[in-house]
Amino acid sequence: MSTERPLIEVRDLVKHFPVRGGVLRRTVAQVKAVDGVSFDIRRGETLGLVGESGCGKTTTGRAILRLEQATAGSVTFDGTDVLRAPARTIKALRRDMQIVFQDPYASLDPRITIGESIAEGLEIHRIGTRATRVDMVREVLGKVGLHPSSMARFPHEFSGGQRQRIGIARALVLNPKLIVCDEPVSALDVSIQSQVLNLLRALQAEFGLTYLFIAHNLSVVEHISNRVGVMYLGKLVELADRRELFRRPRHPYTRALISAIPVANPEHRRERIILQGDVPSPINPPGGCRFHPRCWMAQEICRTVEPAFTQRAPGHWSACHFADDVT
């Protein structure tokens, strides 16, 4: 393992959203969206974060960028404490930490040209002059596979896949170290998804980018990531090298997720684990292991004792009392 310090260190990250009720709009409960999550992102790697809706993967990504104010925990980016940094430091940090959103229709301002849209970040960070900014926009458009003449056009003139390229260009133009990709391909058609995935890979190789890749589609995450973390109800339940995670999952939830993916091969026969029930509410997560009400392996201990997130094999972390029995 490299001894180099990771680009991002997340420790015990917590984000609770208050639920207000009654006439006085008092806080009556907390949605425990992220409830104690720790992981590192190494320089130049892609860390995939998967989980079903409401598991806290998007909130984790946003809290790292301080787009959400975390409730507790720490995030260290390149040695800087992100969560406690003053506003000025944050502004500078944002140049290094960018985000690409899921919905390429909602994330671009329809009233300004895409050239203006891409140059916005450069203006905010006072990079270059008006003339050099135009050159930078032109160059970045080429990098994401769009014609430089697209600069003068408006978002509605582009398809979903092209808009996602524009979203990537907006992030890329600032020359960031980290890009948080929040479901970047899930709104796109199958044949377009792979174009964008290949583009993200090529840009990573060219610019040495680090990605936090958040998605619910396991096949996509498996394809693009070096390591993958699996979230369930605000907790990280497993984290491992992608190959290891898919070949030998050490958490029953991961195993169920993998077995639930529809495989585009009618001859592919495998044992399917169909989980019973729905994901419980993050307001009142089950005691003990949060997965126990849906887990077919659950024992008495799972109902009472919350399993620790520990290393079960080199680089393979799992939060299950019976991690070694998951086969």
Which of 147, 145, 183, 180 lies closest to 165 in space, CA to CA? 145
Q: What's the closest the beta carbon of residue 278 comes to other proteins, in angstroms?
A: 5
**H helices of 65-113, where?**
87-96
Please select the residue that binds other proteins; options are 2, 22, 86, 267, rule is CB under 8 A.
Answer: 267
Please select the residue that binds other proteins; options are 261, 283, 305, 308, rule is CB under 8 A.
Answer: 261
User: Whose Cβ is closer to other proteins: residue 207's or residue 246's?
Assistant: 246
Contact 64, 8 (CB under 8 A): yes
Window 136-175: contact mask with other proteins (x via CB under 8 A)? ---------x-------------x-x--------------
Whether the CA torsion 74, 79, 82, 83 is positive or negative: it is positive
Contact 51, 237 (CB under 8 A): no
List the interface residues with other proteins, window 35-74 (CB under 8 A): 52-53
Q: What's the closest the beta carbon of residue 220 comes to other proteins, in angstroms?
A: 6
Please select the residue that binds other proteins; options are 190, 271, 314, 327, rule is CB under 8 A.
Answer: 190
Tokens coding 21: 């009720």
Cα atoms found within 13 Å of the Cα of residue 155, Cβ hemisphere only = 20
Q: What's the closest the beta carbon of residue 196 comes to other proteins, in angstroms?
A: 7
User: Whose Cβ is closer to other proteins: residue 26's or residue 268's?
Assistant: 268
User: Whose Cβ is closer to other proteins: residue 9's or residue 238's?
Assistant: 238
Please select the residue that binds other proteins; options are 156, 191, 300, 314, rule is CB under 8 A.
Answer: 191
Q: What's the closest the beta carbon of residue 212 comes to other proteins, in angstroms?
A: 18
**H helices of 67-189, where?**
87-96, 114-124, 130-143, 160-172
User: Whose Cβ is closer to other proteins: residue 71's or residue 193's?
Assistant: 193
* Size of residue set near other proteins by CB under 8 A: 46
Which of 108, 83, 109, 82 lies closest to 96 in space, CA to CA? 82
179 strand-pairing partners: 98, 211
Cα atoms found within 13 Å of the Cα of residue 93, Cβ hemisphere only = 22
- Chain positions contacting other proteins, by CB under 8 A: 52-53, 145, 159, 161, 189-199, 201-202, 216-220, 222-224, 243, 246, 256-268, 272, 274-275, 278-279
